Amino acid sequence: MATSKAREDIKNDLNTLKEDLKVGAREEAAKLKAKASETEARLREKAAEADARVRERADELREQARGYYDQARVRSREYYDDASERLDEAQRYITERVQERPVQSTAIALGVGVVLGLLLAGRRR
């Protein structure tokens, strides 16, 4: 009878130990879930901060690119105006020279045309 009592005590002790292990495992799982949630929240916060920094930097770069574009647009307009003015001057100069010496201008134009014609005809052969 002493052995059956000892067996019963051991059985009860094992059941108690089993329940204690289940409770301990549940507590540890709950702690791990809480830690995981806390870590996830921190990661989301850090990701949001990084996203905000990236967006801010992108905005800065966009503004800088707009500045470069505006500068390039102004410069190109200046170059265009300058080239247009020089072309107009050249056209006026040529027109004046042709009006001063029409026969000489016609002879020069004819000579240039013949030379170009010979050069182009020579390439076809």
| pTM of the predicted protein model | 0.47
Taking residues 30-35, report their average pLDDT: 92
Taking residues 4-11, report their average pLDDT: 85
Structure tokens at 28: 């540890």
Phi–psi pair at 68, nearest 5 degrees: -65, -40
CA neighbours closer than 13 Å in the CB half-sphere of residue 59: 6
| pLDDT at residue 8 in the model | 87
Instruction: Indicate the pLDDT class of residue 38, thresholds 50, 70 and 90.
Output: very high
CB distance 100 to 107 below 8 Å: no
| pLDDT at residue 98 in the model | 87
Q: How far apart are the first and last CA of the chain?
A: 128
**Backbone φ/ψ region at 101: left (φ over 0), alpha (ψ -120 to 50), beta:** beta
pLDDT tens track for 57-114 = 999 999 999 999 999 999 999 999 999 999 999 999 989 988 999 899 899 999 999 9
Q: Which is more confidently placed, 62 or 5?
A: 62
CB distance 72 to 64 below 8 Å: no
Q: Taking the CA atoms of the chain, what radius of gyration do you get in angstroms?
A: 47
